[in-house]
Structure 1
């Protein structure tokens, strides 16, 4: 019978001392470096800046593809403990173009494969977020609901600002699936409901002044 990831342990030797640790542990990461996202340069006539931007976008596509190819344990070790992943995720959620804002086609027309790169990163990032919001991938790869709630909350996989950004990026074109994803996050970790209420109260308090 399969064991939930949050209940799996391994023995790690430190000299003559053996220590029982969770499989979901810092020692499980590859020290993979994730490149942070930057928006399209405003001066598209700057060939050097555009070339660097295209190279960076290609690296991000490669990084996300690599991450999604990892097995269940490896994937969760990376997203929980790799600080570079969090930097990349935050940079994308902050700077990625919102579908609510019209981007002039001229921004893309002179740059080879520009729009395709943005769309590919958006698709890969959504697939990554989908996996992050899923506590049961299969009968062999899963968390207990309680364990999943602790992992995503205690390791800051999601917080209210990130969830707001995710909704602003994907709600227009992926509303049904995104609703299920957000619903599962709130269902498995009720602390998010409290955090959301606190965030709304803070916004209301500031706007009323």
Structure 2
């Protein structure tokens, strides 16, 4: 449990990772590192939840969401109000802190979606969005004053080993803030990749995963579910995630509108994320070149997108459960 009566004292202006603070608890004097679980308060940090949809609105749902997300916003403000060493101690050692922060990035509206119709919902959502960005901006700031700072070497290890920033988190930040906060996002991304070069290697691994995801989408829309014959695709697809039709049913294995919708939204999210990643961090073009990612883009345009249009025409609309007879 954190003792708020202990003031942060650093007369020698040491980096925070080398600072210890004196704690006097009922006459028992202890030396506690400035970055330590001791400074973590027992506070409930909830995760972000999407607002209720207008189409499935339940009486009182908006009020319930607002009450819960007001608490979420209060937690963000509380986190930002903490002193430098307490802020970082909570981020590192509170078991739910990063989950709470990342949950917004995972559940937020992508920039191609319209604002929420309910003005109260949109206002609260906008406030949360702003404070999340401020928190992540603080997480890449190594010096807040001459007495509250950490070395870049320590921050580099901290943000990487404690998963404060990962490629999925960085890409989610690009998607959420890369459109209307491009300049700030450029500085954030440059800082992260400069501090920790290992992220470049991780980006290559992530792009390899995207390549596999693109292949999966292409296979889904090219597969003839009424035939055991493999789809007519390049040799690079041979042996990749073969889609087998269950032996007890042909009809249930066909693509539906909902499945196609999921594939299209995933493709749209991925394409926009990668575009914004390149825009806010142009140096990442090196990673795309070294992984030959352009080949995946070419394959998607040649074998994926045209068939997505074809399958959508075949399925018809969201009420369809399979291909027309």
TM-score interval (norm. to shorter): 0.7 to 0.9
Q: Compute the displacement of 1:185 (Å).
A: 1.1
Q: Compute the displacement of 1:45 (Å).
A: 3.4
Q: Compute the displacement of 1:23 (Å).
A: 2.1
1:49 maps to which residue? Answer: 61
Q: Give 2:17's match in structure 1, choosing from 6, 25, 48.
A: 6
Q: Give 1:39's match in structure 2, choosing from 37, 50, 62.
A: 50
Q: Deviations over 1:187-208 (max 9, x none)?
A: 1111111111111123224535
Is residue 2:84 matched to residue 1:72?
Answer: yes
Q: Distance in 2 between matches of 1:66 and 1:203?
A: 37
1:108 maps to which residue? Answer: 118
Q: Compute the displacement of 1:175 (Å).
A: 0.6
Q: Deviations over 1:141-191 (max 9, x none)?
A: 211110001111111111111111011000111111111011111111111
1:159 maps to which residue? Answer: 166
1:30 maps to which residue? Answer: 41
Is residue 2:208 matched to residue 1:201?
Answer: yes
2:138 maps to which residue? Answer: 131
Q: Deviations over 1:3-35 (max 9, x none)?
A: 11122235789xxxx987632112220022112
Q: Deviations over 1:111-138 (max 9, x none)?
A: xx22110111011111111101111222
Contact 2:62 2:121 in 1 (8 A): no
Structure 2 residue matching 1:59: 3-state secondary structure: helix
Cα RMSD of the aligned pairs, angstroms, is 2.3
Q: Is there any run of 5+ residues in structure 2 with no aligned partner, and where? A: 1-11, 216-236, 238-325
Contact 1:133 1:181 in 2 (8 A): yes
TM-score (norm 1): 0.87
Contact 2:142 2:151 in 1 (8 A): yes
Q: Compute the displacement of 1:97 (Å).
A: 1.1
Q: Deviations over 1:53-100 (max 9, x none)?
A: 010111011111111110100100011111221221121110011222
Q: Is there any run of 5+ residues in structure 1 with no aligned partner, and where? A: none
Q: Compute the displacement of 1:139 (Å).
A: 2.1
Q: 1:198 to 1:61 in 2, by over 3 A?
A: same
Q: Distance in 2 between matches of 1:172 and 1:207?
A: 24
Contact 2:84 2:148 in 1 (8 A): yes
2:111 maps to which residue? Answer: 99
Aligned residues: 201
Contact 2:142 2:150 in 1 (8 A): yes
TM-score (norm 2): 0.57
Contact 1:9 1:20 in 2 (8 A): yes
1:189 maps to which residue? Answer: 196
